[in-house]
Amino acid sequence: MKILLGVTGGIAAYKAADLARMLVKRGHQVRCCLTDAGSRFITPLTLATLTGEPCFGANPDYHEWRPNPKVEHVDLARWADLVAVVPATADILGKTANGLANDLLSTILLATTAKVLWAPAMNKAMWAHPAVQANVATLRGFGHAFVEPIEGMLACGEEGAGKLAEVGDILEAIEGQGRASIPTLVGKHILVTAGPTREDLDPVRTLTNRASGAMGIEVARALRDSGAQVHLVVGGELAVPQGIEAFRVRSAQDMLDACLSLWPRMDGVVAAAAVADQRPDSFADQKAKKQEGPETLVLVRTPDILATLAQARRPEQWAIGFAAESENHLANATQKLQKSVWMPCC
């Protein structure tokens, strides 16, 4: 993919160098456009060295008069498959949202018909300002994508939402823009469950399983990249990819409640969670003390999430479920399907 990386004037500009290096390593052709303000934080030589391409914009070493001169902002706008602005300041967001252009990057952003992705970074009060949020809404209306800032320690010493997203998440979002969507999934709302559930015995001890949730998260990621609107109900501690609405849960009942609240507006569900099949019949408010001799733990069944969703489904809603087995995999999975009120969706 041919990526034009716009770098504007924020302290997070130094992270653009790492992003450019990672993109090149993954086989993308990268050209950088540096604003005057951005050049106070990172040099054109750094970006040109990492990409193997000239750094455009604020670069005194890239002279205006050269062989076969071109209308630079139009040429770069046509060249790019994607324009990614990392970091994006309030200034560049405002200019592009309102059709203003007074430097190379802002003119490229008005001239391009390529996809545009923004990774904003700024003070938390600036990010929350109504004018900035209105500009973000306008750009979303143009079809532009965003990797929103995360919470953390900001350069000003404050903590809050405004920190540049992790470089790995920005890389993933950029590559996601280059993937082809699946027409039958575009715009569909899909519920995905992932991860283990935990059933508490007391404030310290819990019943769970060895599932990490990685499979369900990768399913959610693939559906997102195919154009679906993904709603992930997840147990465990794994990070959730950008662009996926996530609901963190603990117990099987928590997962069921979250799924039931979402289910009426979903087109389908991929139930990939490793739900604990049993829970203790009671919960001790205080840590249970050691006892001499044998101890008995009474277990009761947790709700069957997929079966409950089946009972509340519309005819056009579909489901994909998984049967975690340690033996006789096909026979046990077939038996589970036959017991289900679902009809096979494929």
What residues are labeled active site? Answer: 156
Give CA–CA dist 98/343, Å, rounded: 51
Q: Do 54 and 80 contact (CB within 8 A), yes or no?
A: no
- Evaluated on CA atoms 121, 238, 214, 183, the torsion sign reads negative
Handedness of CA 190, 345, 264, 212 (dihedral sign): negative
The answer to whether 154 touches 162, Cβ cutoff 8 Å, is yes
Separation between Cα atoms, residue 159 and residue 7, nearest integer Å: 23
Q: Please report which residue ranges of the chain form alpha helices under DSSP H.
A: 14-25, 44-51, 72-79, 90-97, 104-111, 124-128, 130-141, 167-177, 214-225, 252-262, 305-311, 329-339
b/e string for 84-111 if b means 16 or more Cβ within 10 A? bbbbbbbbbbbbbbeeeeebbbbbbbeb
Which whole-number Å values give the CA distances from 12 to 110, 153, 173, 187, in the listed order?
24, 12, 18, 33
Distances from the Cα of 252 to the Cαs of 42, 56, 200, 306, in angstroms? Answer: 49, 54, 11, 11
SS3 state at 206: strand
d(Cα 298, Cα 301) in Å, to the nearest integer? 10
* Helix/strand/coil for 25: helix
